[in-house]
Amino acid sequence: MKRALNFNAGPAALPEAVLQKAQQEWLNIEDTGMSVMELSHRSQTFENIHNKAISLLKEIMDIPDNYEILFLQGGASLQFSMVPMNLLSTGKKAYYVLTGSWSEKALNEAGKIGDTAVAASAKDTNYTYIPSADEISFGEDAAYVHITTNNTIFGTQWNNYPVLEEVPLVADMSSDILSKKIDISKFGLIYAGAQKNLGPSGVTVVIIRKDLVNSSLTNLPTMLNYETHIKNNSLYNTPPTLAIYLLSLVLEWVKDQGGVEVLQENNTAKAKLIYDAIDNSEGFYKGHAQPESRSHMNVTFTLPDEAATKKFLEEAKLAGFVGLNGHRSVGGCRASIYNAVPLSHCEKLVGFMKNFKESYS
Ligand code: PMP
């Protein structure tokens, strides 16, 4: 069966084993005679799937007991609003580190809810780097500091998260959650749309430290209040049952691979292969990100000119590669190499890049 060499930025490649398991269970899950989409979300079968996904995520990410795990809808984009709605109280300010378009969007949405400020910004270089700890500034009025741990469009990624002492660190981890081991206790709140490393689109994971949940937000719309979802184990209304089921299969797959430590090693090896091909191309390929800020999830690079880029993308398509075109704000190409993209596909890409460079004149 033909499977694409899928380098899409999201929705993105899923593990083949996950798709096969879903296929096996498609018509009849757990002997119910129904597909997972036909089950009541109040049925024991679905509740077991839902609770298994929560407990697997807790185990795999080593999430301490003083955190709640939520499965919400509305994508990471709704979290741009829910975070300030729930965490930004009057008299306080939300500080944002700008490292790309998604952080800008998060800041703009927060500005509609309350007072905001920029804690640091890499915009002056078209987002080629991650600001260092001493560039980040915030006041005593800080409700939280927000970062985007991986910048999907520009191809930069945080290596060392800022240490903020008392101020909660809020992180949009949409494009690198589960790609490496992290210390959850450094964060007040983490959110991530699922459609890169976690599963299909349609479910958004939120991990929130319990003491940050504000029980006095009685005027907030019910669905936008974290407390609603905490009190109801994310089953206040009908959840995206298919997406949660697929998330549970992806989490089982992560465990089968040996956990995030093993994925981290694989991701490092995959990224190194492609960055080496860029660095050893005598300037034919140029990385967008500065080397110390390079993402292990989205490798962004340019070619000598528009004509070369166009030809590269056309030939790549004919060779079976999908999703290599860069975002218009960076230009060039982007290879998204999330957890489910195998090393062999990265090797094929590197081979293609070398051949293209040699044959291009
Ligand atoms: N943040 C980041 C880092 C992203 O990459 C994306 C989507 N690509 C978003 C937020 C927006 O996510 P969603 O489409 O789930 O709202």
End-to-end Cα, the chain, rounded Å = 35
Q: Is the pLDDT of residue 26 over 80?
A: yes
Q: Is 158 annotated as a binding residue?
A: no
**Residue-level pLDDT at 272:** 98
Q: Which CATH architecture has domain 258-359?
A: Alpha-Beta Complex (3.90)
Q: How far is the CA of 205 from the centre of ligand 1 (A)?
A: 12
Q: Is 79 annotated as a binding residue?
A: no
Q: Is the pLDDT of residue 298 over 90?
A: yes
Q: Is 76 annotated as a binding residue?
A: yes
pLDDT digits (tens, 9 = 90+) for 181-208: 999 999 999 999 999 999 999 999 999 9
Q: How far is the CA of 242 from the centre of ligand 1 (A)?
A: 20
> Mean pLDDT throughout 145-150?
98
Q: How far is the CA of 204 from the centre of ligand 1 (A)?
A: 10
Q: Which amino acid is at 30?
A: E
ipTM of the complex: 0.99
Give percent helix, percent strand, percent coil of the chain, each to the nearest 5: 40, 15, 45
**Residue-level pLDDT at 344:** 97
**Residue-level pLDDT at 329:** 87
| Residue-wise DSSP of 75-93 | HHHHHHHHHHHHH--TT-E
Integer Cα distance of 125 and 343 in angstroms? 31
Integer Cα distance of 293 and 290 in angstroms? 5
Q: In which residue are the tokens 């795990």 written?
A: 69
CB-ligand 1 contact for 102 (6 Å cutoff): yes
Three-class SS state of 63: coil
Q: How far is the CA of 122 from the centre of ligand 1 (A)?
A: 19
**Residue-level pLDDT at 269:** 98
pLDDT digits (tens, 9 = 90+) for 249-276: 999 999 999 999 999 999 999 999 999 9
Atom index in ligand 1 nearest the CA of residue 78 equals 16
CB-ligand 1 contact for 76 (6 Å cutoff): yes
What is the overall mean pLDDT for the chain? 97
| Atom 8 of ligand 1: nearest residue by CA position | 10
**Do 316 and 4 touch, CB atoms closer than 8 A?**
no
Q: How far is the CA of 102 from the centre of ligand 1 (A)?
A: 7
Query: Ligand 1, residues 71, 77, 107, 197: which to mutate, most atoms within 8 A of Cβ?
Result: 77
Which CATH fold would you assign to the domain 16-257?
Aspartate Aminotransferase; domain 2 (3.40.640)
Residue 161 has what DSSP assignment? P
| Atom 10 of ligand 1: nearest residue by CA position | 76
Q: What is the pTM assigned to this prediction?
A: 0.98
Give the relative orientation of helices 260-279 and 343-359 as an angle to the nearest 10 degrees: 0
> Mean pLDDT throughout 316-334?
95
Q: Is 17 annotated as a binding residue?
A: no
**Do 35 and 351 touch, CB atoms closer than 8 A?**
no
pLDDT digits (tens, 9 = 90+) for 44-91: 999 999 999 999 999 999 999 999 999 999 999 999 999 999 999 999
Q: Which of 160, 157, 185 is nearest to 172 (CA)?
A: 157
Integer Cα distance of 237 and 38 in angstroms? 16
Q: Which of 15-19, 126-130, 138-142, 217-221 has the lowest mean pLDDT?
A: 217-221
CB-ligand 1 contact for 80 (6 Å cutoff): no
Atom index in ligand 1 nearest the CA of residue 193 equals 15
**Residue-level pLDDT at 165:** 85
Name the strand (E) or helix (H) holding 98.
strand 93-98
Q: Is 102 annotated as a binding residue?
A: yes
pLDDT band at 1 (very low <50, low <70, confident <90, very high): confident
So which residues are the catalytic ones?
102, 172, 196
Q: Where are the domains of the chain?
A: 16-257, 258-359
**Residue-level pLDDT at 2:** 84
Q: Is the pLDDT of residue 354 over 90?
A: yes
